[in-house]
Amino acid sequence: MQCSWLHSGPQLWLQCVHRQVKVTAGKLREEHRGWLLTVDPVSHSVALVSFGEDGASVRVVLGHAVEHVEVLQEPDPDTEERLRSLLPPPETGGPDPDERRRRRSGVRRWLQQNRVPVEEDGNELRVARVLTIRAPYRPDDCSSANQIILDRVQRLLRVQPDPVPDSDPVLEISQAPEIAPGLDGPIPPGH
């Protein structure tokens, strides 16, 4: 399979990924060979991997220089696994629902402590009806058309201390310091 790279799209790129390819690039029509690891969807640049005794090496051929890509070989199962291990897919699970609830509550309390008007709306937090914070409730999870409020809330979230796990405000007897009758403090050790 041979193609004009700049005029191709994601469907063709996916057909070439994880296959050994020959890339023709530049005015001098230089040839680069390797296993196509990934393609940058914006620049059309390709990352070629070569496996050697010292491990893997990666060469990036810039998209504007790529003229043609030709598939030379399909991967065997071992090569396929090696290629997949180089760029593992992002984790999709995220925190469990209880952890998200705790994080949402912690962020809400933190904003309220800092006098920010915040309310829960399902799984989202809304600030002054102009900013939304979605799970997992980090600074980058904020969205708003009001750049000033967005910046201030993001800065607050960046300095938020680690959330303290929910705990019972009532001290257990075993946790309470012993107070001697008629004294204002704990009993010193050894008494």
List pLDDT tens digits, range 73-102.
999 988 888 888 887 665 555 668 888 899
Q: Which helix (H) or strand (E) holds 49?
A: strand 46-52
Mean pLDDT of the 160-177 span: 51
Mean pLDDT for 39-68 is: 89
* Residues 76, 57 contacting (CB under 8 angstroms): no
Note the pLDDT of residue 184: 46
Asked if residue 133 has pLDDT above 90, the reply is yes
The DSSP secondary structure of 88-148, one letter per residue, reads PPPP---S-HHHHHHHHHHHHHHHHHTT--EEEETTEEEETTTEEE-TT--GGGEEES-HH
Statement: residue 181 has pLDDT above 70: no
Given pLDDT bands bounded at 50, 70 and 90, which one contains residue 144?
A: confident
Helix (H, G, I), strand (E, B) or coil at 81: helix
The residues with which 68 forms a beta bridge, in sequence order, are 4, 24
| Average pLDDT over every residue of 31-36 | 93
44-57 burial, b if ≥16 CB within 10 A, otherwise e?
bbbbbbeeeeeeee
Rounded average pLDDT over 94-121: 90
Q: For residue 96, what pLDDT is reported? A: 81
Say what the pLDDT of residue 189 is.
53
Torsion of CA 147, 153, 157, 160, to 10 degrees: 150
Tell me the torsion sign for CA atoms 100, 102, 107, 108: positive
pLDDT of residue 94: 61
**Section 120-136 average pLDDT:** 91
Give the pLDDT confidence score for residue 118 in this predicted structure: 94
